[in-house]
Amino acid sequence: MKRSIALSTLLLGATLLGAAPGQGGWPTAVGGRELPSLAPILEKVVPGVVNIHTTSRIRIPEHPLFSDPLFRYFFELPRQTKPREKLERSLGSGVVVDAENGYLLTNHHVIRQAERIVVALNDGRNVQATRVGEDPETDVAVIRIEPDQLTALPRADSDRLRVGDFVVAIGNPFGLGSTVTSGIVSALGRSGLGIEGYEDFIQTDASINPGNSGGALIDLEGQLVGINTAILARGGGNVGIGFAIPINMAHEIMGQLIAHGEVRRGLLGVQTQDLTPELATAFNLKRTGGAVVSQVVPRSGADRAGLRPGDVVIAANGRPVRSAAGLRNVVGLVRVGQKVKLEYLRDGETLEAEAVVTQPETIQMQGREVDPRFEGAVFELVPGTGGDDEESGIRLLVVRQGSPAWGIGLRPKDRLVMVNNMKVKDFEELTRVLRTNQTKMLLNIQRNGEGLLILVR
Protein backbone atom coordinates (compact mmCIF):
# COMPACT_ATOMS: atom_id res chain seq x y z
CA MET A 1 0.00 0.00 0.00
CA LYS A 2 2.79 2.41 0.92
CA ARG A 3 4.60 1.59 -2.30
CA SER A 4 1.44 2.32 -4.28
CA ILE A 5 1.01 5.70 -2.61
CA ALA A 6 4.65 6.59 -3.21
CA LEU A 7 4.37 5.62 -6.88
CA SER A 8 1.20 7.69 -7.25
CA THR A 9 2.88 10.67 -5.65
CA LEU A 10 5.87 10.30 -7.94
CA LEU A 11 3.68 10.12 -11.02
CA LEU A 12 1.67 13.13 -9.81
CA GLY A 13 4.93 15.06 -9.44
CA ALA A 14 5.90 14.00 -12.93
CA THR A 15 2.56 15.18 -14.28
CA LEU A 16 2.85 18.56 -12.58
CA LEU A 17 6.44 19.09 -13.64
CA GLY A 18 6.07 17.69 -17.11
CA ALA A 19 5.91 20.02 -20.10
CA ALA A 20 6.13 19.92 -23.82
CA PRO A 21 9.63 19.88 -25.28
CA GLY A 22 11.18 23.35 -25.38
CA GLN A 23 9.13 24.74 -22.48
CA GLY A 24 11.60 25.52 -19.71
CA GLY A 25 13.86 22.67 -20.85
CA TRP A 26 11.78 19.93 -19.15
CA PRO A 27 11.52 16.60 -21.02
CA THR A 28 8.15 14.88 -21.50
CA ALA A 29 7.29 13.43 -18.11
CA VAL A 30 4.39 11.04 -18.41
CA GLY A 31 3.89 10.15 -22.05
CA GLY A 32 7.04 8.01 -22.28
CA ARG A 33 7.29 7.35 -18.53
CA GLU A 34 10.34 9.59 -18.48
CA LEU A 35 10.85 11.42 -15.22
CA PRO A 36 11.67 15.14 -15.26
CA SER A 37 15.38 15.95 -15.15
CA LEU A 38 17.49 19.07 -15.08
CA ALA A 39 20.48 17.22 -16.52
CA PRO A 40 20.18 18.58 -20.11
CA ILE A 41 20.22 22.17 -18.82
CA LEU A 42 22.96 21.63 -16.27
CA GLU A 43 25.27 20.01 -18.81
CA LYS A 44 25.33 23.36 -20.60
CA VAL A 45 25.41 25.60 -17.53
CA VAL A 46 27.68 23.95 -14.93
CA PRO A 47 30.92 24.58 -16.94
CA GLY A 48 30.24 28.32 -16.53
CA VAL A 49 30.25 28.15 -12.71
CA VAL A 50 33.71 28.00 -11.12
CA ASN A 51 35.25 27.41 -7.72
CA ILE A 52 37.38 30.19 -6.24
CA HIS A 53 40.24 29.63 -3.81
CA THR A 54 41.77 32.67 -2.12
CA THR A 55 44.78 33.24 0.10
CA SER A 56 44.86 36.22 2.46
CA ARG A 57 47.40 37.51 4.96
CA ILE A 58 45.67 38.30 8.26
CA ARG A 59 47.29 40.26 11.08
CA ILE A 60 47.22 38.46 14.44
CA PRO A 61 46.14 40.86 17.21
CA GLU A 62 48.40 40.93 20.24
CA HIS A 63 47.53 41.34 23.88
CA PRO A 64 47.89 45.03 24.86
CA LEU A 65 50.66 44.12 27.32
CA PHE A 66 52.90 42.95 24.48
CA SER A 67 52.84 46.44 22.99
CA ASP A 68 54.00 47.96 26.29
CA PRO A 69 57.80 48.58 26.05
CA LEU A 70 58.22 48.32 29.86
CA PHE A 71 56.52 44.93 29.89
CA ARG A 72 58.73 43.69 27.05
CA TYR A 73 61.84 45.00 28.80
CA PHE A 74 60.96 43.43 32.16
CA PHE A 75 60.34 39.99 30.67
CA GLU A 76 63.21 40.34 28.18
CA LEU A 77 60.99 39.87 25.18
CA PRO A 78 62.55 40.61 21.78
CA ARG A 79 61.45 43.75 20.03
CA GLN A 80 58.76 43.18 17.43
CA THR A 81 59.91 44.58 14.08
CA LYS A 82 56.62 43.87 12.36
CA PRO A 83 53.21 42.53 13.42
CA ARG A 84 52.61 38.79 13.37
CA GLU A 85 50.55 37.51 10.48
CA LYS A 86 48.96 34.29 9.37
CA LEU A 87 47.82 32.98 6.02
CA GLU A 88 44.11 32.38 5.70
CA ARG A 89 42.56 30.36 2.90
CA SER A 90 38.91 30.51 1.92
CA LEU A 91 36.59 29.09 -0.69
CA GLY A 92 33.82 30.54 -2.81
CA SER A 93 32.25 30.44 -6.24
CA GLY A 94 32.08 32.55 -9.37
CA VAL A 95 30.25 32.78 -12.68
CA VAL A 96 31.69 33.29 -16.15
CA VAL A 97 29.67 36.11 -17.71
CA ASP A 98 31.96 37.14 -20.58
CA ALA A 99 33.85 34.23 -22.16
CA GLU A 100 35.42 36.40 -24.86
CA ASN A 101 37.18 38.70 -22.38
CA GLY A 102 37.45 36.32 -19.42
CA TYR A 103 35.29 38.28 -16.95
CA LEU A 104 33.74 36.52 -13.96
CA LEU A 105 31.23 37.75 -11.39
CA THR A 106 31.56 36.82 -7.73
CA ASN A 107 30.98 38.37 -4.30
CA HIS A 108 33.17 41.07 -2.80
CA HIS A 109 33.40 39.13 0.46
CA VAL A 110 34.78 36.09 -1.42
CA ILE A 111 37.91 37.94 -2.59
CA ARG A 112 38.13 40.64 0.09
CA GLN A 113 41.77 41.09 1.25
CA ALA A 114 42.84 38.21 -0.98
CA GLU A 115 46.46 38.33 -2.11
CA ARG A 116 46.04 35.38 -4.47
CA ILE A 117 42.91 34.27 -6.33
CA VAL A 118 42.83 30.89 -8.05
CA VAL A 119 39.89 29.81 -10.21
CA ALA A 120 39.18 26.08 -10.53
CA LEU A 121 37.35 25.46 -13.79
CA ASN A 122 34.92 22.61 -14.30
CA ASP A 123 37.28 20.89 -16.73
CA GLY A 124 39.95 20.51 -14.03
CA ARG A 125 42.14 23.52 -14.88
CA ASN A 126 43.38 25.84 -12.13
CA VAL A 127 44.16 29.36 -13.32
CA GLN A 128 45.18 32.52 -11.48
CA ALA A 129 42.77 35.43 -11.61
CA THR A 130 43.33 39.18 -11.42
CA ARG A 131 41.12 41.59 -9.54
CA VAL A 132 39.17 43.97 -11.82
CA GLY A 133 37.04 45.82 -9.28
CA GLU A 134 34.83 45.46 -6.23
CA ASP A 135 31.80 47.17 -4.75
CA PRO A 136 31.36 46.41 -1.03
CA GLU A 137 28.00 48.21 -0.97
CA THR A 138 26.38 45.58 -3.20
CA ASP A 139 28.86 42.77 -2.46
CA VAL A 140 29.65 42.45 -6.16
CA ALA A 141 33.15 41.85 -7.52
CA VAL A 142 34.62 41.24 -10.97
CA ILE A 143 37.72 39.14 -11.60
CA ARG A 144 39.40 38.16 -14.85
CA ILE A 145 41.15 35.06 -16.17
CA GLU A 146 42.65 34.30 -19.56
CA PRO A 147 39.78 33.73 -22.02
CA ASP A 148 40.71 30.18 -23.02
CA GLN A 149 37.83 27.80 -23.77
CA LEU A 150 35.39 29.37 -21.32
CA THR A 151 31.64 28.87 -21.10
CA ALA A 152 29.58 31.94 -20.22
CA LEU A 153 26.10 31.80 -18.76
CA PRO A 154 23.37 33.64 -20.69
CA ARG A 155 21.74 36.44 -18.72
CA ALA A 156 18.01 36.60 -17.97
CA ASP A 157 15.93 39.65 -17.06
CA SER A 158 15.69 39.33 -13.27
CA ASP A 159 12.97 42.00 -13.18
CA ARG A 160 10.63 39.43 -14.76
CA LEU A 161 11.07 36.90 -11.96
CA ARG A 162 7.95 35.97 -10.03
CA VAL A 163 7.46 34.42 -6.63
CA GLY A 164 7.04 30.70 -7.22
CA ASP A 165 9.35 30.45 -10.24
CA PHE A 166 11.65 27.43 -10.14
CA VAL A 167 15.35 28.24 -9.70
CA VAL A 168 18.57 26.25 -9.38
CA ALA A 169 21.60 27.24 -7.29
CA ILE A 170 25.06 26.13 -8.43
CA GLY A 171 28.21 26.61 -6.39
CA ASN A 172 30.96 25.16 -4.22
CA PRO A 173 29.43 24.54 -0.76
CA PHE A 174 31.91 23.63 1.99
CA GLY A 175 34.58 23.15 -0.68
CA LEU A 176 32.94 19.98 -1.96
CA GLY A 177 33.14 21.08 -5.58
CA SER A 178 30.43 21.85 -8.10
CA THR A 179 27.05 21.20 -6.44
CA VAL A 180 23.49 21.79 -7.67
CA THR A 181 20.40 22.45 -5.54
CA SER A 182 16.91 23.45 -6.60
CA GLY A 183 13.97 25.36 -5.19
CA ILE A 184 11.67 28.26 -5.94
CA VAL A 185 11.74 32.03 -5.64
CA SER A 186 10.37 32.60 -2.13
CA ALA A 187 10.28 36.40 -2.24
CA LEU A 188 11.57 39.37 -4.24
CA GLY A 189 13.00 42.74 -3.29
CA ARG A 190 14.17 41.69 0.15
CA SER A 191 15.91 44.53 2.00
CA GLY A 192 16.56 45.76 5.51
CA LEU A 193 18.53 42.62 6.39
CA GLY A 194 21.70 44.49 7.31
CA ILE A 195 23.75 42.29 4.96
CA GLU A 196 24.89 44.96 2.51
CA GLY A 197 24.44 48.67 1.84
CA TYR A 198 22.25 48.20 -1.24
CA GLU A 199 19.79 45.35 -0.74
CA ASP A 200 17.29 44.10 -3.32
CA PHE A 201 17.68 40.37 -2.81
CA ILE A 202 15.97 37.41 -4.42
CA GLN A 203 15.01 35.04 -1.62
CA THR A 204 15.00 31.34 -2.41
CA ASP A 205 14.64 28.02 -0.60
CA ALA A 206 17.23 26.37 -2.86
CA SER A 207 19.95 25.16 -0.50
CA ILE A 208 22.71 27.79 -0.25
CA ASN A 209 25.55 27.01 2.12
CA PRO A 210 28.97 28.48 2.97
CA GLY A 211 31.06 28.30 -0.19
CA ASN A 212 28.06 28.93 -2.46
CA SER A 213 28.77 32.67 -2.30
CA GLY A 214 29.39 34.09 -5.76
CA GLY A 215 27.75 31.13 -7.48
CA ALA A 216 24.89 31.13 -9.97
CA LEU A 217 21.16 31.18 -9.49
CA ILE A 218 19.57 30.12 -12.78
CA ASP A 219 16.07 29.62 -14.12
CA LEU A 220 14.77 26.53 -15.89
CA GLU A 221 16.03 27.80 -19.22
CA GLY A 222 19.60 27.84 -17.91
CA GLN A 223 19.76 31.62 -17.77
CA LEU A 224 21.48 33.52 -14.98
CA VAL A 225 19.00 35.35 -12.75
CA GLY A 226 21.15 36.05 -9.69
CA ILE A 227 24.46 35.75 -7.85
CA ASN A 228 24.17 33.77 -4.61
CA THR A 229 25.42 35.84 -1.72
CA ALA A 230 24.07 34.98 1.74
CA ILE A 231 22.06 32.69 3.96
CA LEU A 232 19.96 33.44 7.01
CA ALA A 233 20.85 30.80 9.59
CA ARG A 234 21.84 31.03 13.24
CA GLY A 235 23.95 27.89 13.09
CA GLY A 236 25.64 28.73 9.78
CA GLY A 237 23.88 25.99 7.79
CA ASN A 238 21.05 26.09 5.30
CA VAL A 239 17.50 26.40 6.66
CA GLY A 240 15.77 27.19 3.40
CA ILE A 241 16.34 30.96 3.45
CA GLY A 242 18.99 32.05 0.97
CA PHE A 243 19.57 35.31 -0.87
CA ALA A 244 20.91 36.21 -4.30
CA ILE A 245 21.76 39.54 -5.92
CA PRO A 246 19.53 40.07 -8.99
CA ILE A 247 21.59 39.78 -12.15
CA ASN A 248 20.23 43.09 -13.47
CA MET A 249 21.80 44.87 -10.49
CA ALA A 250 25.02 42.83 -10.68
CA HIS A 251 25.33 43.51 -14.42
CA GLU A 252 25.00 47.29 -13.94
CA ILE A 253 27.64 47.20 -11.22
CA MET A 254 29.90 45.04 -13.37
CA GLY A 255 29.88 47.64 -16.16
CA GLN A 256 31.20 50.32 -13.83
CA LEU A 257 33.76 48.02 -12.23
CA ILE A 258 35.19 47.09 -15.63
CA ALA A 259 35.22 50.72 -16.78
CA HIS A 260 36.51 52.38 -13.59
CA GLY A 261 37.51 49.67 -11.10
CA GLU A 262 34.90 51.08 -8.73
CA VAL A 263 31.30 52.27 -8.67
CA ARG A 264 30.91 56.02 -9.05
CA ARG A 265 27.58 56.78 -7.46
CA GLY A 266 25.87 60.08 -7.89
CA LEU A 267 23.65 62.29 -5.79
CA LEU A 268 19.91 62.58 -6.29
CA GLY A 269 19.66 65.06 -3.45
CA VAL A 270 16.86 63.76 -1.24
CA GLN A 271 16.48 62.25 2.17
CA THR A 272 13.52 59.91 2.41
CA GLN A 273 11.72 57.60 4.78
CA ASP A 274 9.25 54.75 4.34
CA LEU A 275 5.59 55.54 3.74
CA THR A 276 4.08 53.93 6.84
CA PRO A 277 0.33 53.45 7.38
CA GLU A 278 0.43 56.35 9.83
CA LEU A 279 2.04 58.68 7.28
CA ALA A 280 -0.37 57.48 4.60
CA THR A 281 -3.27 58.45 6.85
CA ALA A 282 -1.68 61.83 7.57
CA PHE A 283 -1.27 62.47 3.82
CA ASN A 284 -4.79 61.18 3.15
CA LEU A 285 -3.47 58.41 0.91
CA LYS A 286 -5.20 55.08 0.40
CA ARG A 287 -1.97 53.27 -0.38
CA THR A 288 1.04 52.07 1.54
CA GLY A 289 4.47 51.65 0.11
CA GLY A 290 6.59 54.49 -1.19
CA ALA A 291 9.41 56.83 -0.21
CA VAL A 292 8.40 60.06 1.53
CA VAL A 293 10.74 62.96 0.79
CA SER A 294 11.77 64.52 4.10
CA GLN A 295 14.50 66.84 2.83
CA VAL A 296 15.73 68.15 -0.53
CA VAL A 297 19.34 69.25 -0.94
CA PRO A 298 19.51 72.76 -2.45
CA ARG A 299 20.74 72.97 -6.06
CA SER A 300 20.70 69.17 -6.38
CA GLY A 301 19.10 67.23 -9.22
CA ALA A 302 16.00 66.60 -7.12
CA ASP A 303 15.74 70.30 -6.29
CA ARG A 304 16.01 71.32 -9.96
CA ALA A 305 13.39 68.68 -10.86
CA GLY A 306 10.93 70.34 -8.48
CA LEU A 307 10.70 67.76 -5.69
CA ARG A 308 9.56 69.04 -2.30
CA PRO A 309 9.41 67.65 1.24
CA GLY A 310 6.18 65.68 1.60
CA ASP A 311 6.25 64.25 -1.93
CA VAL A 312 5.84 60.47 -2.04
CA VAL A 313 7.97 58.75 -4.67
CA ILE A 314 6.16 55.64 -5.96
CA ALA A 315 8.27 54.72 -9.01
CA ALA A 316 11.77 55.34 -10.35
CA ASN A 317 12.89 54.49 -13.88
CA GLY A 318 9.73 52.45 -14.33
CA ARG A 319 10.30 50.33 -11.21
CA PRO A 320 7.81 50.53 -8.33
CA VAL A 321 9.27 52.12 -5.20
CA ARG A 322 7.90 50.54 -2.04
CA SER A 323 10.37 51.95 0.50
CA ALA A 324 13.22 54.39 1.00
CA ALA A 325 15.67 51.53 0.43
CA GLY A 326 13.95 50.74 -2.86
CA LEU A 327 14.54 54.28 -4.14
CA ARG A 328 18.13 54.12 -2.95
CA ASN A 329 18.70 50.88 -4.86
CA VAL A 330 17.50 52.43 -8.12
CA VAL A 331 19.51 55.64 -7.69
CA GLY A 332 22.60 53.65 -6.70
CA LEU A 333 22.68 52.08 -10.18
CA VAL A 334 22.38 55.37 -12.07
CA ARG A 335 25.66 56.86 -13.23
CA VAL A 336 26.65 60.47 -12.68
CA GLY A 337 25.14 62.68 -15.38
CA GLN A 338 22.29 60.31 -16.21
CA LYS A 339 18.64 61.03 -15.52
CA VAL A 340 16.29 59.14 -13.24
CA LYS A 341 12.59 59.32 -14.09
CA LEU A 342 10.49 59.74 -10.96
CA GLU A 343 6.78 59.26 -10.40
CA TYR A 344 5.46 60.79 -7.20
CA LEU A 345 2.33 61.87 -5.35
CA ARG A 346 1.63 65.42 -4.22
CA ASP A 347 -1.69 66.53 -2.76
CA GLY A 348 -3.40 63.46 -4.16
CA GLU A 349 -2.12 64.08 -7.70
CA THR A 350 0.33 61.84 -9.56
CA LEU A 351 3.22 63.79 -11.07
CA GLU A 352 6.35 62.93 -13.04
CA ALA A 353 9.81 64.48 -13.13
CA GLU A 354 13.28 63.76 -14.46
CA ALA A 355 16.19 64.44 -12.12
CA VAL A 356 19.86 64.43 -13.14
CA VAL A 357 22.12 62.46 -10.83
CA THR A 358 25.09 64.69 -9.99
CA GLN A 359 28.54 64.18 -8.54
CA PRO A 360 28.39 64.37 -4.72
CA GLU A 361 30.16 67.38 -3.25
CA THR A 362 31.76 67.05 0.15
CA ILE A 363 32.46 69.60 2.86
CA GLN A 364 35.72 69.17 4.75
CA MET A 365 36.83 70.19 8.23
CA GLN A 366 40.18 69.89 9.99
CA GLY A 367 40.06 67.64 13.05
CA ARG A 368 41.74 70.21 15.29
CA GLU A 369 38.80 72.56 14.65
CA VAL A 370 36.51 69.97 16.24
CA ASP A 371 38.70 68.82 19.14
CA PRO A 372 42.48 68.87 19.82
CA ARG A 373 42.43 65.09 20.14
CA PHE A 374 41.46 64.93 16.45
CA GLU A 375 44.63 66.75 15.38
CA GLY A 376 45.97 65.20 12.17
CA ALA A 377 42.58 64.12 10.84
CA VAL A 378 40.47 65.63 8.07
CA PHE A 379 36.73 65.00 8.26
CA GLU A 380 34.42 65.13 5.26
CA LEU A 381 30.67 65.48 5.25
CA VAL A 382 29.25 63.10 2.65
CA PRO A 383 25.76 63.83 1.32
CA GLY A 384 23.42 60.90 0.71
CA THR A 385 22.80 59.48 -2.73
CA GLY A 386 19.07 59.11 -2.14
CA GLY A 387 16.81 56.74 -0.24
CA ASP A 388 17.68 56.14 3.39
CA ASP A 389 21.12 57.77 3.04
CA GLU A 390 23.10 55.17 4.96
CA GLU A 391 26.24 56.39 3.21
CA SER A 392 25.78 60.00 4.25
CA GLY A 393 27.38 61.50 7.34
CA ILE A 394 30.87 62.18 8.67
CA ARG A 395 33.78 60.22 7.28
CA LEU A 396 37.54 60.35 7.87
CA LEU A 397 39.20 61.52 4.67
CA VAL A 398 42.78 61.72 5.98
CA VAL A 399 44.46 60.57 9.20
CA ARG A 400 48.16 61.43 9.43
CA GLN A 401 50.31 58.68 10.91
CA GLY A 402 51.78 59.57 14.30
CA SER A 403 49.19 62.30 14.91
CA PRO A 404 46.88 62.41 17.96
CA ALA A 405 43.99 61.25 15.78
CA TRP A 406 46.04 58.26 14.61
CA GLY A 407 47.04 57.53 18.22
CA ILE A 408 43.44 57.20 19.41
CA GLY A 409 42.74 54.67 16.65
CA LEU A 410 41.12 56.65 13.83
CA ARG A 411 41.88 55.54 10.28
CA PRO A 412 41.06 56.85 6.77
CA LYS A 413 37.61 55.89 5.45
CA ASP A 414 36.23 55.38 8.99
CA ARG A 415 32.64 56.58 9.26
CA LEU A 416 31.72 58.35 12.49
CA VAL A 417 28.26 57.10 13.46
CA MET A 418 27.83 58.06 17.13
CA VAL A 419 29.67 60.05 19.79
CA ASN A 420 28.83 59.42 23.45
CA ASN A 421 25.86 57.28 22.33
CA MET A 422 24.40 60.13 20.28
CA LYS A 423 24.09 60.02 16.49
CA VAL A 424 26.06 62.63 14.57
CA LYS A 425 25.19 63.32 10.94
CA ASP A 426 26.94 66.64 10.41
CA PHE A 427 29.63 68.86 11.89
CA GLU A 428 27.10 70.91 13.85
CA GLU A 429 25.82 67.84 15.69
CA LEU A 430 29.38 66.62 16.31
CA THR A 431 30.42 69.94 17.83
CA ARG A 432 27.28 70.11 19.98
CA VAL A 433 27.79 66.59 21.39
CA LEU A 434 31.45 67.21 22.24
CA ARG A 435 30.58 70.51 23.91
CA THR A 436 28.41 68.68 26.48
CA ASN A 437 31.22 66.34 27.57
CA GLN A 438 34.81 67.42 26.99
CA THR A 439 36.52 64.93 29.32
CA LYS A 440 35.98 61.69 27.42
CA MET A 441 34.62 60.50 24.11
CA LEU A 442 33.07 57.17 23.18
CA LEU A 443 33.28 56.95 19.38
CA ASN A 444 31.13 54.51 17.43
CA ILE A 445 33.01 53.89 14.18
CA GLN A 446 32.04 51.92 11.08
CA ARG A 447 35.11 50.40 9.41
CA ASN A 448 34.97 48.00 6.44
CA GLY A 449 31.34 47.29 7.16
CA GLU A 450 31.94 46.41 10.83
CA GLY A 451 31.24 48.39 14.00
CA LEU A 452 34.04 49.53 16.30
CA LEU A 453 34.02 51.37 19.64
CA ILE A 454 36.90 53.69 20.57
CA LEU A 455 37.12 55.21 24.07
CA VAL A 456 39.08 58.47 24.17
CA ARG A 457 40.05 60.03 27.49
Question: Of 178, 213, 300, 392, which is the active-site residue?
Answer: 213
> Residue 217 and residue 171: Cα distance in Å, rounded?
9
For the stretch 338-344, contacts whose Cβ atoms lie closer than 8 Å and that sit 24 or more positions apart, written own/partner, are 338/266, 340/268, 340/301, 340/316, 341/316, 341/317, 342/305, 342/307, 342/313, 342/315, 342/316, 343/313, 343/314, 343/315, 343/316, 344/293, 344/307, 344/311, 344/312, 344/313, 344/314
In 3-state terms the chain splits into helix, strand, coil percentages (rounded to 5) of 20, 35, 40
For residue 326, what are the CA distances in angstroms to 116, 182, 318?
36, 28, 12
Closest CA to 394 of 363, 369, 355: 363
Is-catalytic flag, 191?
Answer: no
> Residue 149 and residue 121: Cα distance in Å, rounded?
10
Is-catalytic flag, 108?
Answer: no
Asked if residues 446 and 423 have their Cβ atoms less than 8 Å apart, the reply is no
Q: Within 10 Å of residue 425's Cβ, how many Cβ atoms?
A: 16
Question: Of 53, 90, 93, 109, which is the active-site residue?
Answer: 109
For residue 51, what are the CA distances in angstroms to 166, 201, 205, 268, 323?
24, 22, 22, 38, 36
Residue 236 burial (C-beta neighbours within 10 Å; 0-12, 13-18, 19+): exposed
> Residue 421 and residue 440: Cα distance in Å, rounded?
12
> Residue 409 and residue 426: Cα distance in Å, rounded?
21
Question: Of 93, 108, 135, 139, which is the active-site residue?
Answer: 139
Asked if residues 350 and 363 have their Cβ atoms less than 8 Å apart, the reply is no
Task: Give 403's DSSP letter.
Answer: S
Based on DSSP, count helices (H) and strands (E) in the chain, helices before strands: 11, 25
> Residue 372 and residue 335: Cα distance in Å, rounded?
39
Is-catalytic flag, 109?
Answer: yes
Element (H, E) at 443: strand 441-447
> Residue 334 and residue 252: Cα distance in Å, rounded?
9
Residues annotated as catalytic are 109, 139, 213
